[in-house]
Chain A
Amino acid sequence: MRSWSSSATPWQVAAWLLFALAAWLPLAPLLRGFVDPEALAFLTDPRRLGLLGRTLWMSGAAAALSVVLGATYAVLCVRVRFPGARLLESLLPLPLFLPPLLLAQAWFGLAELRGPWAAVFTLGVAAAPLPGLLAARSLRKQRASAHEAALLLGPWFAAREMLRTAMPAALLGGLLAFVIAASDFAVPDYFAVQQPLFHVYAMEVFGHSRSASYAAGAAAALPLVMLGLIGLGLALRLQRGMRAAEVGGGRAPKAFHPRPFGTSVATFVAFALATLLVFLPLGRLIWETGNTGPLDPRSWAQVSADAFGQVFERARGDFLSSLRFSALAALIVLVASPFWAHLLLRSEQTGSRARRIAGRVLGAAVALPLLVPAVALGFGAILTLDKPWLRFFYDSPWLPAMLLAGRYGPIAIFLLLERLRAVPDAQEESALIGGASYPARLFRYRLGPQAGGWVLAASLVFIFSMRELDLNILVSPMNASASVRYYNALHFARDNFVAACSLVLCVVLWLPMALASSWSSLRGRTPA
């Protein structure tokens, strides 16, 4: 679609102004680090270089683990027919919606995992859904005829072709897992407290918050910001490979139906992976809620009920404010994301090369708030917004909502962009010719058939906002939140309370996802 109506301009300007305020403004102090000699001093500091080296290998190992677990899970659930495959596939996103700290607590309780490898394992398991979901998507979009043409040459060739299809997506997920693991401070911090002590770069950055030296903290975050930028460049490259592999348009290949022994093996491996990713950590937390000491006369059920009672009594306020922040963030994204995604879509469709390049740069800039460490974003927010004349805004629930919308808005934008791409341009063009206003064209004709995707995008922002921890610890108006309450209790070893708190958080996170998925599957069909 090449025509563009000037009636869109005011709406677009307003929406992008909001994105600039929410997402790009807090990034400004971080970008200043690139020209700050003090910020670049890490290059000559052997201790910080050592920390960076450890962060790199740990994140690399976590990313590799996430690719192996996620891609295997995706291939089994999407391409092999065995009983329970659909149920297991629906569980795949779950670890992504649990705070990684919760998984750390569960795995420490289960296997007494310790040290850097425990952090690697936890971060790898927590991020496994990223490569898994992306690989599953690519496998579904492989054209059946391409798979069958390969099958005529032999099963191994077909398997190789299938891996070639899934690999760019799995690697893209692994790259995101790498960036997330490199900037996570809570999980390494948790395992470091359990001994043996070790440090990663994100802990070094976070350490500046204790002395309230926010500018130094923002400067110290420079290597992680650079890592995010490098990740962004690689991600764009992998995304091109992923799009090339996802031809789609026709039937998806049929799932492979192995002989009885193969079915048993596939079922066993898939359930083992689901146990590792979901059932074991959740089971451990459930058990932990009622775990009694040897001298406690109360039963497991009594202790568990008391723990949940305490959560609703003591942490109710924090849960409610977390819900308020997250709901407001989701609302901002619900209203603005269609405009954001539509401009990116239009920049892809323009005939002018310069505008296409500008669109790509804009797309990269949109991804940036998601790729910088949350701690660094928190420093940036404090430096730019914690001013006496902005106090009325800084202390209101709108600051957390805006920061969370800026941080997680990109997830909604990219999801919606893909859904909008699936709607034929002619639907919007005929509305344009018919004289419909820009909001009507966008919401009724472009977004209407994809209402499920729209709700899903906003729900994801809600979920990720609810599980946010690093930003909540750092920015004072966000301290009164469920994740911080949980983090504090964890460090005071109040295990029953923490486990109950985690499970309530799980339910709060899981419910909107389940509802959005159902809504999406009911409404998210694109007309042929």
Chain B
Amino acid sequence: MNENAATPPPLALAAEALVFRRGARSVLNRLDLALAPGERLAISGPSGCGKTTLLRALAGLETADSGRVRIGGLLASDGARTLLPPWQRGLQFVFQDLGLWPTRSVLQNVGDVLRWNRAPYPKARARELLARVGLAELADRAPATLSGGEAHRLAFARALAARPKILLLDEPFTSLDPEARDEGFALLEDALRETGAAVILVSHDPSETERLGGRRMHMEGGQLKG
């Protein structure tokens, strides 16, 4: 009998009894979460309930007070101890304010990620990615000169360039008009279909979480419900 066939594939990401305190306030209160490879999870909740903190703790950008985070079955953090630094977790983050690199051109924002990941022909590949998100014409512009929708598409292109196994999206469509939001979701849908990445999207807007499809959860009192 093949033992491997019986073993279920490791979760893409798991959080166990995660606790994060800010002063006296518990932002994450023994929070548990499991995400299978390729799964889609949308988390809703009011502003300030700890959604962003959860994503940041999963990415290794914040250190939790206690609890564990596992990535692909590997222990990534145990309490305040970081075992896998953010750059070894194979995930990408689309920040609420996008976090584009202001001193680099649109092309370089994507090209740098490819080059750093040792992708072959990074410049040509970056142009290809930009063409797919409709930014080919703006390749030499500075990110500050892009419109809101264009900047969001660039942030997605940059995150996808690393071919992540997990994509963390922190209210990426909140500031967009309905048309740009539609474009963003279409882009995300294509990318997820192609890469098979698992995704967590957090938003205070229930229509956004509904639209992603997949599992939906609600955050309240530092815990996930639903």
- Establish whether residues A247 and B144, one from each chain, have CB atoms under 8 Å apart when the complex forms: yes
A-B contact count (CB 8 A): 67
Contacts of A161 in B (CB 8 A): 101
| Selected contact of A155 from candidates B59, B87, B142, CB within 8 Å | B87
| Residue among A144, A150, A155, A250 making CB contact with B101, cutoff 8 Å | A150
- The minimal Cβ–Cβ distance linking B126 to chain A, given in whole angstroms, is 14
Cβ–Cβ contact A151 & B142, under 8 A: no
Chain B residues with Cβ below 8 Å from A149 are 93, 95, 99-101, 158
* A-side contacts of B93, CB under 8 Å: 148-149, 152
B91 interfacial by beta-carbon distance below 8 Å: yes
Residues of A within 8 A of B112 (CB): 153, 157
- How long is the Cα–Cα vector from A148 to B85 in the complex, in angstroms? 12
Residues of A within 8 A of B (CB-CB), count: 24
B87 contacts A154, C-beta separation under 8 Å: yes
In the bound assembly, the distance between CA atoms of A84 and B87 in angstroms comes to 29
Interface residue tally on B, bucketed by range: 20 to 34
Docked complex Cα distance between A161 and B116 (Å): 12
| A245 proximal to B (CB < 8 A) | yes
B103-A165 in contact (CB<8A) = yes
Tell me if A269 is interfacial: C-beta within 8 Å of chain B: no
Write out the residue numbers on chain A whose beta carbons fall within 8 Å of the beta carbon of B61. Answer: 148, 151
Query: Within 8 Å of chain A (Cβ to Cβ): is B203?
Result: no
The residue in chain B whose Cβ has the minimal distance to the Cβ of A149 is B99
* In-complex Cβ contact of A148 among B95, B100, B104, B158 (8 A): B95
Q: Name the prevailing secondary structure of the A interface residues.
A: helix
Measured CB to CB, the closest approach of chain B to A71, in angstroms, equals 16
CA distance A165 to B100 in the complex (A): 12
Q: With A153-B116, A154-B116, A155-B87 given, is the CB distance from A148 to B103 under 8 Å? A: no
A241 to B158, CA, bound (A): 22
Q: Is the CB of A151 within 8 A of B86?
A: yes
| Docked pose: A152 CA to B55 CA in angstroms | 13
Residue contact A244 to B100, C-beta cutoff 8 Å: no
Smallest CB-CB separation from B85: which chain A residue?
Answer: A155
A151-B87, A154-B116, A157-B112 known; A244 and B103 CB under 8 Å? Answer: yes
A438 to B75, CA, bound (A): 63
Confirm or deny: B102 has a beta carbon within 8 angstroms of a beta carbon on chain A: yes
Q: How far is the CA of A27 from the CA of B144 in the complex (A)?
A: 38
A335 within 8 A of B: no
Cβ–Cβ < 8 Å partners of A147 in chain B: 99
A145 contact from B86, B98, B117, B144, Cβ within 8 A:
B98
> How far apart are the CA atoms of A153 and B93 in the complex, in Å?
11
Query: Is B54 at the interface (CB under 8 A from chain A)?
Result: no
Q: Chain B 82-95, CB within 8 Å of chain A: the 1/0 string?
A: 00011100011101
Could you tell me if B103 and A164 are in contact, using CB atoms closer than 8 angstroms? yes
State the CA gap A157–B102 with chains docked (Å).
15
Identify 24 residue pairs between A and B in the complex whose beta-carbon atoms are under 8 Å apart, listed by A's number: A144-B99, A145-B95, A145-B96, A145-B99, A146-B99, A146-B100, A146-B101, A148-B86, A148-B95, A149-B93, A149-B95, A149-B99, A149-B100, A149-B101, A149-B158, A151-B86, A153-B162, A154-B87, A154-B116, A157-B87, A157-B112, A164-B104, A241-B103, A244-B142
Instruction: Give the top 7 A-B pairs by smallest Cβ distance, nearest first.
Output: A145-B99, A145-B95, A149-B99, A154-B87, A146-B99, A164-B103, A153-B116
4 new A-B contacts, CB < 8 A, other than A146-B99, A151-B61, are A143-B99, A145-B95, A152-B59, A161-B101
